[in-house]
Amino acid sequence: MTRAPRFDRSTAGDRPGAVGRRGVLRAGMLLPLAGAAAACSGSTEPEAPDPLIALAAQARSDVAAANGVAAAHPDLADAARLVAGVRQQHATALQQEVDRLHPPSTSATPPPAATSTAPPAAAQVGTSAARTALATALATAEQQASNLVPTLPRYRAGLVGSVAAGCAALREVLS
Amino acid sequence: MPTTTTGGSRELPEETVDALQKALGTEHAAVWVYGLASAFLPAAAQPALTEGATAHRARRDATERLLRDAGATPAASAPAYLPPNPVTDAASAAAMLVSAENDTSVAWRGVLERSDDQDVRRAAVDALTASAVRAVSWRQRAGQSPAVVAFPGRP
């Protein structure tokens, strides 16, 4: 895709006289390519956000919530720490995949951790409610991930499928 | 091994058919392994054993249908399978079930990475997820820690 602009200039009419009917035809054929290149550079229209950004944010949010539960509920600490550890790995892998396609240097600062409110909330509820809240968050994450799987590119389908499966497995530990 | 997709109602590329055949092979093995494990596990584990065996049989049958729809001949099961380690008691039987679930997880993630068909993808992520969930209780029973791997199916 990065090759397009080189052809774009020379065929689209910068060299007058060289543009006969055939030249116009060629320019017309190359236009979609030039448009695609512009979209890639992000300079014209905003791209649809990478769907993995939301999955990574949910994973970070689950890490914060699980750490809060681990601190507030000794009975749940082992399971909550396991949730935090696994979801941290999910957040890292998903963010790496986001950054691979959209290097962070060209975009703005990474989104902040979504939930600074989760740990205090966890301290105020009972153990059973905290367990339910964590399980619900994991069910949401699993659903988010598995809903994306059918339409993602192949490599991402594997990664996101494993994230969904990991969330379901974590829920089993909490049950 | 059949690799063409002619004559079926669903067109699948060769690499998808191959990945599904591999997944079917791990489902055949899982069905067999659940049968062997039941002799070594206590009564308390029998409901989970029945549930797992039933799920693997259903997945095996569904995968065979998918392959036939694609015009391929489903791979047959082997007469017997060799457990990765000797099975002598409840813990080693549970460990054998963990590795059977790991094998199916890896195969189904392999299907995700080698398919574009949305129905195949849905079946694969369902199978991967169900397998990862079953593996948790067998790891606990086998005394393996942690009971959850972060990326089930990642080889």
pLDDT of B151 higher than 80: yes
- Give the Cα separation of B114 and B14 in Å (integer): 9
The total number of residues written for chain A in this structure = 175
- Rounded to a whole number of angstroms, the distance from the CA of B79 to the nearest CA of chain A is 30
Q: Does domain B14-75+83-142 have CATH number 1.20.1260.10?
A: yes
- Nearest by CB: A158 against B112, B132, B146: B112
pLDDT of B10 higher than 50: yes
Q: Where are the domains of chain A?
A: 4-41, 51-174
Which letter does DSSP use for residue B131 in this model? H
Residues of chain A in contact with residue B128, where contact means CB-CB under 8 angstroms, are 161-162, 164-165
H-only helix segments in B70-154? 90-112, 118-142
- Give the Cα separation of B117 and B52 in Å (integer): 26
User: Topology of domain A51-174, per CATH?
Assistant: Ferritin (1.20.1260)
- Give the Cα separation of A34 and B52 in Å (integer): 54
Q: How buried is residue A38: exposed, middle or buried, by Cβ count under 10 Å (0-12/13-18/19+)?
A: middle
Q: How buried is residue B146: exposed, middle or buried, by Cβ count under 10 Å (0-12/13-18/19+)?
A: middle
Q: Percent of chain B scored above 90 by pLDDT?
A: 89
Q: What is the mean pLDDT of chain B?
A: 94
- Of A19-33, A58-72, A77-91, B36-50, the poorest mean pLDDT is in A19-33
> Structure tokens of B78?
């082997």
- Nearest by CB: A165 against B105, B118, B121: B105
CB contact under 8 Å between A165 and B136, yes or no, is: no
Q: Residue B39 corresponds to which amino acid?
A: A
Residues of chain A in contact with residue B55, where contact means CB-CB under 8 angstroms, are none
Q: Is residue B45 a contact partner of residue B141, using CB atoms and an 8 Å limit?
A: yes
pLDDT of residue A122: 54
- Rounded to a whole number of angstroms, the distance from the CA of B152 to the nearest CA of chain A is 5
Tell me the per-residue pLDDT of A84-140, one tens digit each, with 9 for 90 and over.
Answer: 999 999 999 999 999 998 887 654 555 555 544 445 555 578 999 999 999 999 999
- Give the Cα separation of B40 and B59 in Å (integer): 24
pLDDT of residue A27: 42
Tell me the per-residue pLDDT of B27-57, one tens digit each, with 9 for 90 and over.
Answer: 999 999 999 999 999 999 999 999 999 999 9
pLDDT of residue A108: 52
Three-state helix/strand/coil letters over A8-69: HHHHCCCCCCCCCHHHHHHHHHHHHHHHHHHHHHCCCCCCCCCHHHHHHHHHHHHHHHHHHH
Residues of chain A in contact with residue B147, where contact means CB-CB under 8 angstroms, are 82, 169, 173
Nearest Cα neighbor of B105 from B65, B52, B61, B155 is: B155
Please enumerate residues of A whose Cβ is less than 8 A from a Cβ of B.
82, 85-86, 89-90, 93, 142, 146, 149-151, 154-155, 157-159, 161-166, 168-173
Q: Where are the domains of chain B?
A: 14-75+83-142
Owner of token pair 């949910």: A58
Q: Is residue B45 a contact partner of residue B90, using CB atoms and an 8 Å limit?
A: yes
> Structure tokens of B40?
């070594």
- Nearest by CB: B153 against A90, A150, A161: A161
- B47 vs A: CB within 8 A: no
- Nearest by CB: A173 against B124, B128, B147: B147
Q: What is the mean pLDDT of chain A?
A: 77
How many CB atoms sit inside 10 A of residue B22's CB? 19
Owner of token pair 């606990």: B140
> Structure tokens of A60?
């970070």
- Of A113-122, B5-14, B118-127, the poorest mean pLDDT is in A113-122
Q: Percent of chain A scored above 90 by pLDDT?
A: 57
